[in-house]
A and B are shown apart, each in its own frame.
Chain A
Amino acid sequence: MSATQHAATPKLQSVEKEPYYQPIGGEIALFESAHRRRLPVLLKGPTGCGKTRFVEYMAWRLKRPLVTVACHDDLTTADLVGRYLIIGNETVWVDGPLTAAVRAGALCYLDEIVEARKDTTVVIHPLADARRILAVDKRGELVAAPDDFMLVVSYNPGYQSVLKEIKPSTRQRFVALEFDYPEAAVEAGIVATEGNVDAETARRLVKLGELTRNLKGAGLDEGASTRLLVHAAQLISDGVLPATACTAAVARALTDDPDMTGTLDDLVRAVF
């Protein structure tokens, strides 16, 4: 097998239109600073609190293409770095998303990093420290990351279990930004904008969110995320009755436990 021609690299997403993002604290400035200083960033926070949206927004703001990889436990090094394919009579190398992002100086976002296998996570180590290089072992190539390249990973500490822990050697390479559900008024603004509902409906949805978050650890693993509230708002703006929308988008999405479902129905009814 002699031929090792470059197949077209995977298409990179470039964020053309400004995504709607409501800043919560100083996260934008901090992220920009990390980018300037070529430091990788770790986003921590519960599900559906705006991490992905934030990265999209930052890609737009920094005018960098964005490569997103959702990590899972079958994700191999080859899935990230690249592999040979055989096309017709030739073996063709195809860059994986990580390599492609490095070459293009993009933002590479590894979502839910803890889901990836431990041996996969280590390929990012040389990329995430001062060396900023990616080893493409199969080709014997070392790809140096251009200044614009930035590695962003996310993880949700709430799910942290014995099996899913981020190793200190991985963790300590990143600048950590902590996310949480925003304050009621801010969150209501997000729900109103994203879900296209009036301010009062948004306020009540956020109230419902708050009530369910009080149940975290008392029957629920997690309270309703901003995402769920946005979903409910979208159903409402489509004409679904508020209580029905909340039951479907929030209550049923949070649990299967019949007792808990009853409680959530009560809470929905209390708010609407």
Chain B
Amino acid sequence: MSSRRLFSDELEQRLDEVLFASPSHRSAKNIADGLERLTRVQQELVLHWISVAAQTYAEIGYQVASLAPKALDRLDTAGFEAWVLAGLDAYDRKGGQLAMTLLRDLDGFCAAREHASAAARLAEVETRLSRFLQGLSGRPLALGAGQVAHTDTESVFLPAQLATLPSAADNRRLYKATAALLWAQTRYGTFGTAAIDVEATLARWVDRERALRWFAALEAVRLEAVIGAELPGLAAEMAALRGPWPEALGEAVLRLGRPDTAVSHSLTFLADCMAGEGEPPPLPHVGAIDLDAVLRVRAARIARESETVRRALSTLKGFGGRQGAGEDAPAVNVEGGKVEFSLDGELAALPPEAQAAAQSLLQDLGEVPPECLVPAGPGAWQPTERVVGEGGGENALTSHREPHRRYDEWDYRRRAYRRGWCHLFEVDLKPGDPDYVAKVSLRNTALIRQIRRRFEMLRGEDRLLGRQPEGEEVDIDALVEARADAASGAEPSARLFCRRIRNERSLAAMFMVDMSGSTQGWVNDAEREALVMLCEALETLGDAYAIYGFSGWTRTRCDIYPVKRFDEKYDATVRGRVAAIEAKDYTRMGVAIRHLTRLLDAQPARHKLLVSLSDGRPDDFGDEYRGHYGIEDTRRALQEAHERGVRSFCITIDRHGADYLQRLYGPARYAVLDDAKKLPLKVADLYRRLAT
């Protein structure tokens, strides 16, 4: 590349290439004019990032392009990249509107970056912090990003970045203190109980916002003292971060700074504060209180959990069948903070999720609501609330199922993960032809017999070690020898025993089968036949194994189809599922690898093997996952698997002698078959080479 600057018309042409989705009314001319004065290196940098951004969302591409000259006046290369990435990240998390706002606010971005070295980012502390919260609370509390720190009682929201304090370490500690305070709000009754209605009290003031700000400050004083009783170390750390209490809170500290205070004390004192005109003094670790969000989430939870408890109680003997509660209502005991139910004087154990719900109700209300103790009418109890028959998903694109898990995905253009990007669902396969496996076996009797014989030889078997100093059996040969030695006056050996040693194969194998639309036809047939052979081999060998199909349609619907889980036997059900494997949608490989790696990781075996069967490059609906992006993400997922001790082997059927495979399967080993028909013949053989 020459170092000559590009002229406006050249730039315009390049821009047209990368801003492919260019709406006609816009011209790249103005943008090109703006970029003309940059150095060639800068121009190339900008063009690269414009194209990256435009692939995510054309508007962001334009925004980046038009602001680039200004941005580069103020930011170095790394800063410029960080600015674009922040915009893309905002787009992923919050959508186009906010992404634009963020990119346009160059001043804000530069200011934040000024003390970026002193800032702490939520992404850095997220894992550690969310586990910390999990440790503190019995009830799960999610962690998410929000403009201001607050909680809705189910999630704690924290700013994506904190730069309040002078050093990054302090800011990280501030994250912890802020989160802990929000946790304490949910734990120690800030939002009231059945007896204390916080909303009603706050309704007394017209300036609700000011009242909420004072309330937050007062609660910070109270909760720190409450925390101090149980978790003195945490309270001390909070105290160190906030420094001495501001004078304006002096009275509050006297009145509320004791471990035995309740929210009612804060509310009483709140009236004094609101009588004045002042604002509460700012405190670094005190976020906002969004009472509306809290009440909404809390009411929904209380309704849900009351129902759970009520249903569970209805199943208890001697309670469910009757109409009225009467004297048979269960007794509740909440002494010592633990909910216990008893019926006719006998302790009644609820299923764990109902017990947890009762515990959670106690936390919200200070009691278990009496409605729970009224039995449900006859037939009201459903053992499972889940809707059956949701699998498959003809209209799944529009369905609002909650994913089983979310997985990050690697975006090579950004050189960063997109957080929780892929929504993974485990979907049941409807059983296929029950005789399919038998038919395949019949057709391949000779091959199967051969596979069995071969794998039998590999099976781990006990070995008998002779001439051991101890063991469960006498080694006759050694004994005779020793006797003879002794008779002839030589020193007899003491190693006279045999010992059984187990030749254990500690291996778990996971098979990941491509069920994308492109396998339609004989690739799919070959995959199914190959699985029949594999199952024969693995059953003979006795290795732990599982089989999952994968397919999907965009990142919000990544489906995984369990064919055989590790703990399932190779029985009629599994055979039916093998028969049911069929071509479905697209091939988003990375998320499937990540999920199956996770499952494999939970296996106790010493060696773990992931084998994928697929028919070509990763692909998904829309342009994004096709091509480079998908290859890089898949490669990354294989690398992650490798780091977790999972060895991968990828079997690809591709007639076009694929050149991208080297890159795609970099971290794994792979084999290419040019003809699907060879797959069933080969697969057992490949496995033998891998696993012995």
Find chain B residues with CB under 8 A from A69 CB. none
* Chain B nearest CB, measured from A185 CB (Å): 9
Q: Are A263 and B231 in contact (CB under 8 A)?
A: no
Q: Is A8 an interface residue (CB 8 A)?
A: no
* Chain A nearest CB, measured from B176 CB (Å): 7
With beta carbons under 8 angstroms apart, the residue of A73, A74, A83, A212 that contacts B135 is A212
Stretch of B28-36, B124-132, B152-160 at the chain-chain interface: B124-132
Please give me the residue from chain B that is nearest to A223 by CB atom: B135
Q: Are B135 and A207 in contact (CB under 8 A)?
A: no
Please give me the residue from chain B that is nearest to A84 by CB atom: B474
Q: Which of A199-255 contact B (CB under 8 A)?
A: 204, 207, 211-212, 214-215, 218-219, 243
- C-beta contact mask, A171-211 vs B, less than 8 Å → 1, else 0? 00000000000010000000000000000000010010001
Please give me the residue from chain B that is nearest to A76 by CB atom: B472
Please give me the residue from chain A that is nearest to B337 by CB atom: A184
A79 to B497: give the CA distance in the assembly, Å: 13
Q: Are B472 and A79 in contact (CB under 8 A)?
A: yes
Q: Are A162 and B544 in contact (CB under 8 A)?
A: yes
Q: Is A104 an interface residue (CB 8 A)?
A: no
* Chain B nearest CB, measured from A75 CB (Å): 11
Q: Is B500 an interface residue (CB 8 A)?
A: yes
Q: Are B128 and A161 in contact (CB under 8 A)?
A: no
Find chain A residues with CB under 8 A from B566 CB. 162
Pick the most buried of B128, B180, B501: most chain A CB atoms within 10 A of its CB: B128
* Chain A nearest CB, measured from B571 CB (Å): 15
Stretch of A29-37, A40-48, A264-272 at the chain-chain interface: A264-272
Pick the most buried of A74, A78, A214, A266: most chain B CB atoms within 10 A of its CB: A266
Q: Are A78 and B135 in contact (CB under 8 A)?
A: no
A162 to B603: give the CA distance in the assembly, Å: 8
Q: Are B132 and A267 in contact (CB under 8 A)?
A: yes
Please give me the residue from chain B that is nearest to A89 by CB atom: B486
Q: Is A10 an interface residue (CB 8 A)?
A: no
With beta carbons under 8 angstroms apart, the residue of B232, B336, B474, B501 that contacts A272 is B232
Tally of B interface residues using CB under 8 Å = 36
Find chain B residues with CB under 8 A from A73 CB. 502
Q: A74-B502, A83-B472, A207-B231 are in contact. Are A263 and B604 (CB under 8 A)?
A: no
Find chain B residues with CB under 8 A from A142 CB. none
Find chain B residues with CB under 8 A from A263 CB. 128, 131-132, 135
* Chain A nearest CB, measured from B177 CB (Å): 11
A263 to B131: give the CA distance in the assembly, Å: 6
Q: Is A260 an interface residue (CB 8 A)?
A: yes
* Chain B nearest CB, measured from A115 CB (Å): 12
Q: Is B75 an interface residue (CB 8 A)?
A: no
Q: Is B643 an interface residue (CB 8 A)?
A: no
Find chain B residues with CB under 8 A from A161 CB. 603-604
Q: Which of A81-114 contact B (CB under 8 A)?
A: 83-86, 89, 91
Find chain B residues with CB under 8 A from A162 CB. 544, 566-567, 603-604
Please give me the residue from chain B that is nearest to A263 by CB atom: B131
Find chain A residues with CB under 8 A from B482 CB. 86
Q: Which of B95-146 contact A (CB under 8 A)?
A: 127-128, 131-132, 134-138
Pick the most buried of B232, B233, B603: most chain A CB atoms within 10 A of its CB: B233
With beta carbons under 8 angstroms apart, the residue of A78, A86, A243, A266 that contacts B479 is A86
Q: Is A130 an interface residue (CB 8 A)?
A: no
Q: Is B496 an interface residue (CB 8 A)?
A: yes
A74 to B468: give the CA distance in the assembly, Å: 15
Q: Is A256 an interface residue (CB 8 A)?
A: no
- C-beta contact mask, B219-250 vs A, less than 8 Å → 1, else 0? 00000000000111110010000000000000
Q: Is A141 an interface residue (CB 8 A)?
A: no
Q: Which of B581-631 contact A (CB under 8 A)?
A: 603-604
With beta carbons under 8 angstroms apart, the residue of A77, A212, A259, A272 that contacts B127 is A259
- C-beta contact mask, B344-379 vs A, less than 8 Å → 1, else 0? 000000000000000000000000000000000000
A89 to B482: give the CA distance in the assembly, Å: 10
Q: Is A262 an interface residue (CB 8 A)?
A: yes
A117 to B474: give the CA distance in the assembly, Å: 21
Q: Are A211 and B502 in contact (CB under 8 A)?
A: no
* Chain A nearest CB, measured from B356 CB (Å): 12
* Chain A nearest CB, measured from B299 CB (Å): 25
Q: Is A3 an interface residue (CB 8 A)?
A: no
Find chain B residues with CB under 8 A from A86 CB. 474, 479, 482, 494, 496
Q: Which of B445-482 contact A (CB under 8 A)?
A: 470-474, 479, 482
Q: Are A211 and B472 in contact (CB under 8 A)?
A: no
Find chain A residues with CB under 8 A from B500 CB. 76
Q: Are B131 and A218 in contact (CB under 8 A)?
A: yes
Q: Are A266 and B544 in contact (CB under 8 A)?
A: no
Q: Are B132 and A266 in contact (CB under 8 A)?
A: yes
Find chain A residues with CB under 8 A from B603 CB. 161-162
Across the A-B interface, the 8 shortest Cβ-Cβ residue pairs: A78-B472, A270-B234, A263-B131, A211-B135, A270-B231, A262-B128, A161-B604, A269-B233
B residues sitting closer than 8 Å to A (CB atoms) are 127-128, 131-132, 134-138, 176, 180, 230-234, 237, 336, 470-474, 479, 482, 486, 494, 496, 500-502, 544, 566-567, 603-604
Instruction: Offer 5 A-B interface pairs, CB within 8 angstroms, sorted by A.
Output: A204-B232, A243-B233, A259-B131, A266-B135, A270-B237
**Extra contacts besides A162-B567, A214-B138, A215-B131 (9): CB < 8 Å:** A78-B471, A161-B603, A162-B604, A212-B135, A260-B131, A263-B131, A269-B234, A270-B136, A271-B234
